Structure 1
């Protein structure tokens, strides 16, 4: 019991540190240049409380359940199963998890003229196929950089032939389908597969699954863009709530709870069923271990329900209204620095980011510190939100930023350690989570609406930008790490050579 109390206390502190800066920024803006109606401010503050508690439960739950489940299933599959069976199960897992991802349902509503289930099934097939590709790469130790160049080249060619309104949404889809629930399980599955290998590159190849799985949705939406030609591509934003009293405030959240209770149950079911089948047929874990995992699943479920309710109901209206107010100021260019500050802090509130940092620190035995990685992610996301605000103000096509960004990221992959490349491309999918979709995207949409821009072309794409810049930031961290390591090794070699010139008397005197 003391263990759980200690861990809950630690996770609560992490959640408070992550969410408090966002609360402070919103309050500062609301009391100065962007006044917010009391109803929206109360929604935001109540949502922030749910966010903090939900994040606490989720991060502990992922640590107790998702990570060990994924590692044990991955190790067992790689050790005991035929290759064809492994690939079929990987496709099935990627497919069913993606279909039940809540953020994908939101995306489907926003893509014009494509039936919802057509889009969802296509994206799910894309994720399933690329999870198979990722596992094959891991089992046969193939270069991640080569695969990324090949598949992103196909993406680049397709963007030349699809309607412009599909481009930003296609790149956004790569971020929303790698949600906070599936990321920990899929990453741990990769670590389990890599554990079977004994070569020196196994550790490096344990990352990279999320990066490849993020390509599937992009290709799926672009391919659908070739088949569907929308007539009316206008996007009508959801009207902002107007709450009169505290009872109405509670009703606003209470009406949303059943929806998220159902959504998260449906989303969590495929992973639990998949693990349950393995437990019955093959794993045979001890009762104590199984009990711990079940507690973790319950924590994960509670955490995600609270987190997503707080984010969607409380943060979305505040983000949209702030964007409108700031864009209507005479000095609307202030959107850029404000967006960068929000981006710097908001990535710390992404629940899956902590899971990634913990796994990176664990698998590298602390050689890649979580704090350094967190700072790199924050700087990368700050830059991406700044660029997104430039797009909102100017209407510049997302391709002018996405294409050079991915070219730079792929070029860097040839000069930094392999593990940094894999972690960097995974971190892009992790950073563009529910906080980006429920606060930054409405912020951009509100600003775009106030300016009179095209919301589908100019506001959408911010998720894609948030997913791209960490690729560069983390690899720059890798280059710095490599330089320091080589400098330290060179210094040690010089010191050793110098000591070799000393005589015994000199050493004794020293």
Structure 2
């Protein structure tokens, strides 16, 4: 276990170090930063590295086997209504448990947090049921995506502009570090009992469909809820004078995030306990291992959230504001792209997805190729988001062509890559996006005098959209490579056969 933990720490260090160095470089060049704020950021980076390592280890040991076990067991239950009910409850529970959703809910204070959270949770629960039924009854993923995304775009025309960006953002934040490992593992478990040749392809796509439910739910909330105009809570950069104050700030904040993670994990653990009592899926040693894994997950996620919320969120806001006021506001676009390229590597759920893809494709799509594709996609999305902050152009001008192009590519891309691509969109927009990139955009927008709700919000949905394109393009390249490899192998086999025939003819002569 110690060896695996060391590997996870090295992986986390390589993920967090690039963005840390970029911020350090900016702090001594374009955006001079108070020493106290910089120390906050560095301590946050350390907590990120340790937290990500333990979280990653914990999900491998607990969330993944538990999700696969539930996914394999559910279809064996003869009562379809019971399966639907259980799936809906799972979807609601894991969504309420998602820390990113708490962050988004806090940004829209005119809607009570509970109203927004339950709206999103019900949306995820309903579409989780749909995703489960799609896997069991072999419904084509691309068809469902086309129908529902067209429905989203039509419905958004009847919603106040302030709600549109929040709705699209809600689809991204619900698929974070708690949700993704569990949903993806459950998808693999569901597909494993089918045994047909398309089962592997259908193991992906659950995250993709679960990202649509919250968008539709919040759009409907925007139409019917009369709670006043949506607002937002501005990020404040704490003033700290020495390292003792930094330590106090983290010490005071840690219990809050420990409570948040504990309240998120307890419903899932209780559900898993009831599942085990009913179905007796796991033996004693497996349960012990899963219990230890949940402990690692709890410890890692508590440190991770404390690091990003206390250390990264205020620095993101500070950087965005300072860059906008530097007299070279156009730098927001290239620097935003650079930050986005490296920031996605620090998303915990991204590593979970990449490992699953490499395992399912037997190494045909490597973690490295997935990470490069995601990084390019997120870099483009942050660049476009900064362009929106500078110009105030509507999110529709980017989201509608982007989704139409992504849906169009589904007709040309291998089936498995459609699921991987749309899953990647939700996975890329995790806690790093909501606690660093969103404050970064808000800080820049405030400094430029823009409308934060229409110009800064939406960056999460942009981060969730562009991987749909880059991963599907990766799928096209992979398909071409495999076709050329097969053609070369076939040609070599034919040549070898011809040589054998010639040799036989010579022997007869």
Does residue 88 of structure 1 match 2:91? no
- Closer, same or farther: CA 324–136 of 1 in aligned 2, 3 Å: same
Q: Is the 8 A contact 1:113 1:229 kept in 2?
A: no
1:454 to 448, 451, 454: 451
2:469 to 449, 468, 472: 472
Matches within 5 A, 1:109-120: 109-111=106-108, 113-120=110-117
Out of 221-230 and 105-114, give the one that drifted further: 105-114
Matches within 5 A, 1:466-505: 466-503=463-500
Quote the residue 1:28 is aligned against. 25
Q: Is the 8 A contact 1:65 1:297 kept in 2?
A: yes
Q: Quote the Cα distance in structure 1 between the aligned partners of 2:105 and 2:48.
A: 25
Q: Quote the Cα distance in structure 1 between the aligned partners of 2:138 and 2:201.
A: 10
Does residue 281 of structure 1 match 2:309? no
1:97 to 91, 94, 99: 94
Q: Is the 8 A contact 1:112 1:230 kept in 2?
A: no
Residue 81 of structure 1, CA deviation: 4.0
Quote the residue 2:234 is aligned against. 237
Q: Is the 8 A contact 1:70 1:192 kept in 2?
A: yes
Count residues in correspondence: 506
Q: Is the 8 A contact 2:103 2:434 kept in 1?
A: no
Quote the residue 2:175 is aligned against. 178
What's the CA shift string for 1:97-138, capped at 9, x where partnerless? 212322222222323532322222111110000000000000
2:304 to 300, 304, 307: 307
What's the CA shift string for 1:303-326, capped at 9, x where partnerless? 000000000000001111011111
Does residue 389 of structure 1 match 2:391? no
Residue 380 of structure 1, CA deviation: 0.5
SS in 2 for 1:502: helix
**Structure 1: runs of 5 or more not aligned:** none
TM-score for the superposition, normalised by structure 1: 0.97
SS in 2 for 1:330: coil
Q: Is the 8 A contact 2:107 2:233 kept in 1?
A: no
Q: Quote the Cα distance in structure 2 between the aligned partners of 1:76 and 1:57.
A: 28
Quote the residue 2:201 is aligned against. 204
1:428 to 425, 430, 446: 425
Quote the residue 1:328 is aligned against. 325
Quote the residue 1:341 is aligned against. 338
- Closer, same or farther: CA 239–26 of 1 in aligned 2, 3 Å: same
Does residue 107 of structure 1 match 2:104? yes
SS in 1 for 2:499: coil
Residue 57 of structure 1, CA deviation: 0.2
SS in 2 for 1:478: helix
Q: Is the 8 A contact 2:100 2:174 kept in 1?
A: yes
- Closer, same or farther: CA 231–88 of 1 in aligned 2, 3 Å: closer
What's the CA shift string for 1:184-211, capped at 9, x where partnerless? 0111011111111011100000110111
Quote the residue 1:157 is aligned against. 154
Quote the residue 1:47 is aligned against. 44
TM-score for the superposition, normalised by structure 2: 0.97
Q: Is the 8 A contact 1:112 1:232 kept in 2?
A: no
Matches within 5 A, 1:120-199: 120-199=117-196
Q: Is the 8 A contact 2:174 2:211 kept in 1?
A: yes
Q: Is the 8 A contact 2:158 2:223 kept in 1?
A: yes
2:67 to 65, 70, 87: 70
Q: Quote the Cα distance in structure 2 between the aligned partners of 1:374 and 1:409.
A: 19
Q: Quote the Cα distance in structure 2 between the aligned partners of 1:18 and 1:284.
A: 36
Measured on the aligned residues, the alpha-carbon RMSD in Å equals 1.5
Q: Quote the Cα distance in structure 2 between the aligned partners of 1:425 and 1:419.
A: 10
